[in-house]
A = this chain, B = another copy of it.
Amino acid sequence: MPATQSTRERIILAAVELFYSQGYEATGMTQILKKANANSGSFYFFFKSKQDLLDSVLDWYLANLEPVLWRPIYAATQDPIERIFALLDGYRQKILATDFSFSCPIGRLALEIGLERQNVHDKIAANFDAWTAAVRSCLGDAEHRLPSGTCFDELSQFVLTVMEGGVMQARAHRSIAPFDNSVRQLRQHFDRLLIAAAESNRNNQSLGEKL
C-alpha cells in the first residue's frame, strides 16, 4: 500500500464500498465524493461520468480477485477441492459478518445494470470468468480424483451458480441456512464424483491385474 492515496484511487475505493453496500443506482455522486474527500471537479477530471467510474470499479474487482480472494486460501489450504469449499466458506463468513446484508457485488451489478450497457456486462462476465477459471484450476489440480469425463468448465461454473444462489437466499431470509443447504448439496455432488472416480480407478486396476 502506498503511503498516500491518489484522489483517483480514493474515489474508486469509495465507489467500491458504496456500490457494494448500496448498489449503483442508489449511490449518489455526493455520497461518493464525500467519502472520497474529493470535489466534483476533481471527479470529472479523472472520469467521464458515473458510468465510467463503474467501469473502473469493475476493473478494480478483477485486479483484486487473485491477491485478496485467492492468495489467502492458497496459503491456508492445500487440498484443491477443499480450496473451493474454503472459498465458499469465505462468503459464508462475509454473510455472517455483515449480518446477512452481504451480496456478491458483481452478481448484484449483473442484475441491476441494464443490458444495453454492454461493456459493463462484458466486465461483469470477465469477473465471473476469472472467478470460475480459478475454481477450474483447482479442479485441474484434482484431476486424478475426478471421473475422467468430468467437464471442468461446467462444474466450476456450477460452483459459482451455487454461491450466487445461496448468497441471494441467505440475504432475503436473513439466515445462513439457505447458503449452508446449497453448499451441502454441492458437497454431496462433489462427493459422488469423487466416489465414482475412486470406483472407476479400482475397476481399472483390477482390470489391469486380469490382463
A residues lining the B interface (CB < 8 Å): 22-23, 25-26, 99-101, 103, 107-108, 110-112, 114-115, 121, 124-125, 128, 153-155, 157-158, 160-166, 168-169, 171-174, 178, 181-182, 184-185, 188-189, 192
Contact = CB atoms under 8 A, between A and B. Distances in A.
Chain B CB within 10 Å, residue with most, of A22, A103, A172, A192: A172
B173 A158 contact: no
Name the prevailing secondary structure of the A interface residues.
Answer: helix
Given A110-B172, A181-B154, A115 B101 contact: yes
Given A154-B181, A157-B181, A160-B169, A111 B108 contact: yes
A103 to B, nearest CB: 5
A19 to B, nearest CB: 12
Chain B CB within 10 Å, residue with most, of A115, A168, A171: A168
A165 B205 CA distance: 39
A99 B168 CA distance: 23
A128 B172 contact: yes
A107 B161 CA distance: 13
A172 B22 contact: no
